Amino acid sequence: DIQMTQSPSSLAASVGDRVTITCRTSQSISSYLNWYQQKPGKAPKLLIYAASSLQSGVPSRFSGSGSGTDFTLTISSLQPEDFATYYCQQSYSTPTTFGQGTRLEIK
C-alpha cells in the first residue's frame, strides 16, 4: 500500500493568513492526489482532485499543486469557515490511502 505523510499534523493560523499543507507519498503517484476538508461531526468534502483541479463550488482561495511524491494544498487567505481538518488521498492505486490529517486551528 502507498503510505501518505501529511505535515504539519496541526497548525494554528489567523484569519487572512496564507497557509500551506504538505502531503508526501511513499512512491510516485503522478497527479493522482485529492484533498478533502472535514469539519467536526461532518463528512469530508472534496476540495481538489487530480492534484490541482478545483472541485465545483469550492472557493478559489483553495489551490493544489505537485506531482510525483510531493504535493501541497494552499489556502491563500484564511476565512473563519476554513478552520477544519484536511486530508490528502491518493487514487493512483488500489487500495486508496489517506493521510493522517492536518488540523487547522485558530491562532
Partner 1 sequence: QVTLKESGPALVKPTQTLTLTCTFSGFSLSTSGMRVSWIRQPPGKALEWLARIDWDDDKFYSTSLKTRLTISKDTSKNQVVLTMTNVDPVDTATYYCARALIAVDAFDIWGQGTLVTVSS
What type of residue sits at position 34?
N
CB of 64 to partner 1, least distance (A): 11
Asked whether the bond before 95 is cis by omega within 30 degrees of 0, the reply is yes
Stretch 42-81: interaction string toward partner 1, x if CB under 8 A: -xxxx--xx----x--------------------------
Helix (H) or strand (E) holding 104: strand 102-106
d(CA 61, CA 95): 30
CB of 52 to partner 1, least distance (A): 12
Beta bridge partners of residue 81, listed in sequence order: none
CB of 42 to partner 1, least distance (A): 8
Reduced to 3 states (helix: H, G, I; strand: E, B; else coil), residue 80 is helix
Q: Which residue lies nearer to partner 1 by CB, 1 or 70?
A: 1
State the number of binding residues for partner 1 (CB under 8 A). Answer: 22
